[in-house]
Amino acid sequence: MPERKNFIREIINDDLRTNKFGGRVHTRFPPEPNGYLHIGHAKSICLNFGLARDYNGLCNLRFDDTNPTKEEVEYVESIERDVRWLGFDWGDRLYYASDYFEQLYEYAVQLTKKGKAYACDLSPDEIREYRGTLTEPGKDSPYRNRTVEENLDLFERMRNGEFPDGSRTLRAKIDMASPNLNMRDPVMYRILHAAHHRTGDRWCIYPMYDWAHGQCDSIERITHSICTLEFTDHRPLYDWFLAELGVYHSQQIEFARLNLTYTVMSKRKLLQLVQEGYVNGWDDARMPTISGLRRRGYTPESIRNFADRIGVARSESTSEVALLEDCLRDDLNKRALRVMAVLRPLKLVIENYPDGVVEELDAVNNPEDSSMGVRKVPISRVLYIEQDDFREHPPKKYFRLSPGAEVRLRYAYIVKCVGVVRNEKTGEITELRCTYDPETKSGSSQSGRRVKGTIHWVSALHAVDAEVRLYSRLFSVENPSGENWRDFINPDSLEVLRQCKVEQSLATAKPQDRFQFERLGYFCVDDDSREGALIFNRAVTLRDTWAKIEKS
Partner RNA sequence: UGCCCGGUGGUGUAAUUGGCAACACGUCUGACUCUGGAUCAGAAAAGUCCAGGUUCGAGCCCUGGCCGGGCAGCCA
- List the interface residues with RNA, window 305-324 (CB under 7 A): 309-320, 322-323
| Smaller CB separation from RNA, 261 or 490 | 261
**Contacting residue, 48, 66, 215, 493, with RNA by CB under 7 A:** 66
The rounded Cα 181 to chain-centroid distance in angstroms is: 34
| Smaller CB separation from RNA, 176 or 460 | 176
What are the C-alpha distances in Å from 276 to residues 74, 269, 270, 273, 282? 20, 10, 10, 5, 12
310, 324 contact by CB (below 8 A): no
User: Considering only residues 181-200, where is the footprint of RNA by CB under 7 A?
Assistant: 181-182, 186-187, 190-192
Q: Assess 123 for contact with RNA (CB under 7 A).
A: yes
**Contacting residue, 17, 393, 425, 548, with RNA by CB under 7 A:** 548
Side by side, the strands of the sheet bearing 345-350 are: 454-455, 406-409, 414-422, 429-437, 345-350, 382-386, 457-459
Rounded Cα–Cα distance for residues 487 and 264 (Å)? 13
Binding window for RNA (CB under 7 A); candidates: 52-60, 88-96, 282-290, 447-455:
447-455
Residues pairing with 469 in the sheet: 496, 537
**Contacting residue, 442, 472, 476, 512, with RNA by CB under 7 A:** 442
Residue 550: count other Cβ atoms within 10 Å of its Cβ: 11
CB of 464 to RNA, least distance (A): 19
Q: Which amino acid is at 501?
A: K
Per the residue annotation, which of 53, 81, 144, 257 is the catalytic one?
Answer: 257
CB of 504 to RNA, least distance (A): 18
257 annotated active-site? yes
**Contacting residue, 54, 72, 156, 326, with RNA by CB under 7 A:** 326
Backbone angles phi, psi at 240, to 5 degrees: -65, -45
Q: Assess 496 for contact with RNA (CB under 7 A).
A: no
Residue 481: count other Cβ atoms within 10 Å of its Cβ: 12
Binding window for RNA (CB under 7 A); candidates: 141-149, 293-301, 348-356, 406-414:
406-414
Closest C-alpha among 402, 408, 400, 515 to residue 464: 515
**Contacting residue, 23, 77, 115, 124, with RNA by CB under 7 A:** 124
Q: Assess 145 for contact with RNA (CB under 7 A).
A: no
116 annotated active-site? no
Q: Give 491's contacts (C-beta < 8 A, 6+ positions apart).
A: none
Q: Assess 127 for contact with RNA (CB under 7 A).
A: yes
Q: Assess 544 for contact with RNA (CB under 7 A).
A: yes
Rounded Cα–Cα distance for residues 322 and 334 (Å)? 19
Rounded Cα–Cα distance for residues 206 and 169 (Å)? 10
267 annotated active-site? yes
User: Considering only residues 202-261, where is the footprint of RNA by CB under 7 A?
Assistant: 206, 208-210, 229-234, 256
DSSP 440-458: G-TTS-GGG---S-EE-EE
Per the residue annotation, which of 267, 344, 416, 433 is the catalytic one?
Answer: 267
Question: Mask: binding to RNA, 333-372, rule CB under 7 A, as x and -?
Answer: x----x---------------------------xxx----
Q: What are the residue numbers of the active site?
A: 32, 257, 267
